[in-house]
Structure 1
């Protein structure tokens, strides 16, 4: 009986110890907001957002999306995605990407716009 009681107290004592394990990793993030709220891109096609050459989001007209990203450089590329609407096959596109340097704790907002070279990001105000 005495052994069982000592074992029980020992087990309960272990649970009261503070944990010694901590999660290491990036703790400072930046917020990147990309919007297609204005009608600057005159197409009904879906636009794919690629972050560091990985498809990270899709935007239709009047939509926006946001990403919590670690601070540092990120490459953003956009392209028209094939869809159900006629004329949404991208064909040959300019595959340029925009290099952004994100700072920890910052909120960065960009709008998608188009010019003779294709889609690009235009800095926008947060409007808060």
Structure 2
């Protein structure tokens, strides 16, 4: 009776440790992109493209996050067509920005504008 109780507790502790072992093996990072500040002088929607694949859309005062594997990613921001007057996509592809993420990173960028177009500027997490 004693050995069966010990073996049951041992088996249960083994199963309890398995999810923790799997969680430590994950190589993900969190990328947060924010449009919370009014740095971009447009009310148009902004599309976020990761590795030239559409990943999300941001309106004013919004932010979004992505769980990505570690590595270097090409991020492109583009005005999207919408119901707002004057919001038409441009003909030229906007320049891409390279962002490198390490496993376990939580990084935040906010959208800003310059003469060359929109870009991502590092921002504080503020949690």
Deviations 1:80-107 (CA, angstroms, capped at 9, x unpaired): 0001111101233452101111000010
Q: What is the CA–CA distance in structure 1 between the aligned matches of 2:59 and 2:89, rounded to whole Å?
A: 15
Question: Are 2:79 and 2:90, in contact at CA under 8 Å, matched by a contact in 1?
Answer: no
Tell me the distance in 1 between the aligned counterparts of 2:90 and 2:96: 17
Q: TM-score normalised to the size of structure 1?
A: 0.77
Give aligned pairs, total: 106
Structure having the higher Rg: 1
Partner of 1:84: 83
User: Mean Cα displacement is larger for which, 89-98 or 117-126?
Assistant: 89-98
Note the C-alpha offset of 1:27. 1.7
1:39 paired residue number = 38
Which 5+ residue runs of structure 2 have no aligned equivalent? 1-21
Question: Within 1, Cα distance between the matches of 2:113 and 2:33?
Answer: 14
Q: Any idea what SS the aligned residue of 1:62 has?
A: coil
Contact 1:94 1:118 (C-alpha < 8 Å) held by counterparts: no
Aligned position for 2:125? 126
